[in-house]
Amino acid sequence: MPNKNGSVYGLTILSPIIDDARATPSHDLQIRNYLAKLSTREDSPFALAPATHLARLVVMDDVIYVGAPACEEHLKSKYLIFESNCDGDLDGYLRGLADNIPEHLDAIWKHCVGYPGAANRQAFIDYMKACQLDTTFYFAAVNDKSVSETLRALQTQTAVADFIATHQGVDAATLQQEFIQFVARLKSLPLPRPGSMGPHRDIKTGGRNE
């Protein structure tokens, strides 16, 4: 099954949420409340753990009825969908999540049926795999670069644009010398933090975007 495209892995997990009439608020709502307060920037759990390009968490309440003459049917459980586009092999990725953000994983998945907790790494990995769906077709625009490589390249792109703009008409010897210094400086810069917007730059756009 094509869960991989190049070096990128498309992980799809569907975890049944506990259905307990005595729980107030209900478990699905507790997940939603937790997710609503979770940062999506540099301090996002997925930024703190390695190897996630893009990821989403979705509470799926039910399947959707598209109208007659289709049959109307309903799920018996609500499901938590975890969709991730990540680097490397699945075991390594899941272990990275369990090592770096166990408290977030537990806070979210403790509302799901049969969740063993992240402390027991192997049980956690086995649980996630038991909830995994195989992807039928997976598309990745860039499928051969890691998160770190992409963050580095985006940083380089901005720096190169600035270097070119400020070195127009410079004589050959100075250009060569300053280019060598520029590359050395660029390499010494820390990698931009995943989930950050990068250096602030003025944006010259406008108009409607709905």
Partner 1 sequence: MSNINGKVYAMNAITPMKPWKTWILRSFFFLLGHVKPLQKDLIDLSFIEFARWVVLPRNGFPFLGNGQVKEDLKYDYLLFFSNFNGTWNQYIDAFSAVLSKGLNLVWRWSEKFPGSVPVTTFKEYIARVQFDTDYYYTAYPHATANDVKSAHVVQSSLNQLELLAEQCNPQQFADAYLRFVLQVQSHLGETGEAPIAG
Residue numbers 10-49 binding partner 1 by CB under 8 A = 10, 12, 14-16, 18-19, 31-32, 35-36, 38, 40-41, 44, 46-47
Work out which of 141, 169, 188, 190 binds partner 1, going by CB under 8 A. 141
Our measurement of the distance from residue 67's CA atom to the centroid of its chain's CA atoms, rounded to an integer in Å, reads 34
95 versus 156: smaller Cβ distance to partner 1: 156
77-109 CB burial, b ≥16 within 10 A, e <16? ebbbebbbbbbeebeebbbbbbebbbebbbbbb
Q: How far is CA 113 from the centre of its chain?
A: 23
Minimum CB–partner distance for residue 198 and partner 1 (Å): 5
Q: How far apart are CA 47 and CA 171, in angstroms?
A: 43
CA 82 to the chain's CA centroid: 10
Looking at the Cβ atoms of 14 and 90, the one nearer to partner 1 is: 14
Asked if 207 is part of the footprint of partner 1 (rule: CB under 8 A), the reply reads yes
Give the integer Cα–Cα distance in Å for 108 and 15. Answer: 11
Count of positions on this chain that bind partner 1 (CB under 8 A): 94
Q: Which of residues 101-130 bind partner 1 (CB under 8 A)?
A: 113-114, 130
Q: Which of 21, 22, 24, 157 binds partner 1 (CB under 8 A)?
A: 157
- CA 37-42-45 angle, to 5 degrees, is 55
CA distance 117 to 128: 11
Applying the rule CB under 8 A, the residues between 41 and 100 that interact with partner 1 are 41, 44, 46-47, 52-61, 63-64, 66-67, 70-71, 73, 75-77, 79, 81, 83, 85
Between residues 43 and 99, which has the closer beta carbon with respect to partner 1? 43
